[in-house]
A and B are shown apart, each in its own frame.
Chain A
Amino acid sequence: MTDMLAGVPDSLLLCYCTKLTVGDLRAACRRDDWPPAGKERTGKLCTGCLGDLNYLLRQLAAEPR
């Protein structure tokens, strides 16, 4: 399920408006704490990252915790 994400670095900037990185998203999903404080508007501002955000949330939700 997460093979496509294996090579994606934590430093990759996902939301250019809230400065959320893939690492931030991974950590939040591991803690079952999405969205983390201060990142609630991720995907809702310029909307450009919304597709990637939803894709990653689906993928990461399936990872074992």
Chain B
Amino acid sequence: MSNNLCGLLSATFHEAGCEHLVELIHQRDAHARRRLASIDVAVYAADGAALHQATLDPRLDVIDLAALVAGIPSPPRRVLVTFDARYDERIFPYRPHHYGYVHRRGGRGAPLYYAVSAVLGGVPDRIGATNINNFESYLFMPKTAAGTHSVLLGNVARFAPSPIEVITYHGRTRSSSAVTLAPKTHAEIDLPAERDGGRLERVEVKSAFRVASYIVGRRAESEELVLFDHLFTYAR
């Protein structure tokens, strides 16, 4: 394989009971010339154990992530999934994007369509995305369909643990919690809806280096996902 190929490693989370499709190539063209050079998928348990690794056909448009995970013997309730792509920057002058579609089977809510978080690569300076990306934040609407919120965090590094601080703002109350994730491990950090009488207004995630992070909202009674989105890079 050419040494001139660019790399992009994206990551998402899959939970049991969900339909979950991932578009490997979001930017299709009429002649279907936009193909990745290669793409590998890997699935990890919360403790970092590698559950599945495979090379995908880069001609695939969409993979059924739920079916892939269902093929793993006794899969855990939630897994971290990485997509390790190589691409020619002449074909993807910006960078390729993977997009996900997730919906609780039999759920009453709308399906969620989201951009799979690009964790490693993508040459941010080439695309103008030069904000510090290991400080991220998310602002919550005053009214939300979610009964509970959390952040999902995953460390895709090969060797290095990542200390991560999760800071919440409820009105004037600032609280923080810390977690250290070993390579390929992940964790869900619950965000209280209220604290000291104030509602959850903002969350910040600060890590030593970029990690996979998603903000998650669930219905209180059914835990159905109603929000699954990336955080935003911190900028003053």
- Chain A: residues with CB nearer than 8 A to chain B? 4, 8, 12-13, 15-17, 19, 41, 43, 45-52, 54-56
- Chain B: residues with CB nearer than 8 A to chain A? 3, 6-9, 118-125, 132-134, 156-162, 208-211
Q: Please pick, from A13, A17, A48, A51, the residue contacting B159 in the complex, using a CB distance under 8 A.
A: A51
Q: How far is the CA of A34 from the CA of B143 in the complex (A)?
A: 52
Closest Cβ of chain B: how far from A13's Cβ, in Å?
5
Asked whether A16 and B9 contact (CB < 8 A) given A46-B120, A47-B134, the answer is: yes
Give chain A residues whose Cβ lies under 8 Å from the Cβ of B161. Answer: 51
Q: How far is the CA of A49 from the CA of B8 in the complex (A)?
A: 12
Closest Cβ of chain B: how far from A49's Cβ, in Å?
6
Evaluate contact between A13 and B124: CB separation under 8 angstroms. no
- Name A41's closest neighbour in chain B (CB-CB): B125
Q: Please pick, from A4, A13, A17, A47, the residue contacting B209 in the complex, using a CB distance under 8 A.
A: A47
Evaluate contact between B120 and A55: CB separation under 8 angstroms. no
Give chain B residues whose Cβ lies under 8 Å from the Cβ of A45. Answer: 123-125
Evaluate contact between A54 and B8: CB separation under 8 angstroms. no
Evaluate contact between B124 and A46: CB separation under 8 angstroms. yes
Could you write out 25 A-B pairs with CB less than 8 Å apart? Answer: A4-B159, A16-B122, A17-B123, A17-B124, A19-B3, A19-B6, A43-B209, A45-B123, A46-B119, A46-B120, A46-B124, A46-B133, A48-B9, A48-B119, A48-B121, A48-B156, A48-B157, A48-B211, A50-B209, A50-B210, A51-B157, A51-B160, A52-B159, A52-B160, A55-B160
Q: How far is the CA of A45 from the CA of B156 in the complex (A)?
A: 16
Closest Cβ of chain A: how far from B73's Cβ, in Å?
26
Asked whether A16 and B6 contact (CB < 8 A) given A47-B209, A51-B209, the answer is: yes
Q: Please pick, from A4, A49, A54, A56, the residue contacting B120 in the complex, using a CB distance under 8 A.
A: A49
- Name B160's closest neighbour in chain A (CB-CB): A51
**3 closest Cβ pairs, A-B complex:** A16-B121, A51-B160, A16-B7
Evaluate contact between A47 and B159: CB separation under 8 angstroms. no
Give chain B residues whose Cβ lies under 8 Å from the Cβ of A48. Answer: 9, 119-121, 156-157, 209-211
Evaluate contact between A13 and B7: CB separation under 8 angstroms. yes
Q: How far is the CA of A6 from the CA of B16 in the complex (A)?
A: 37
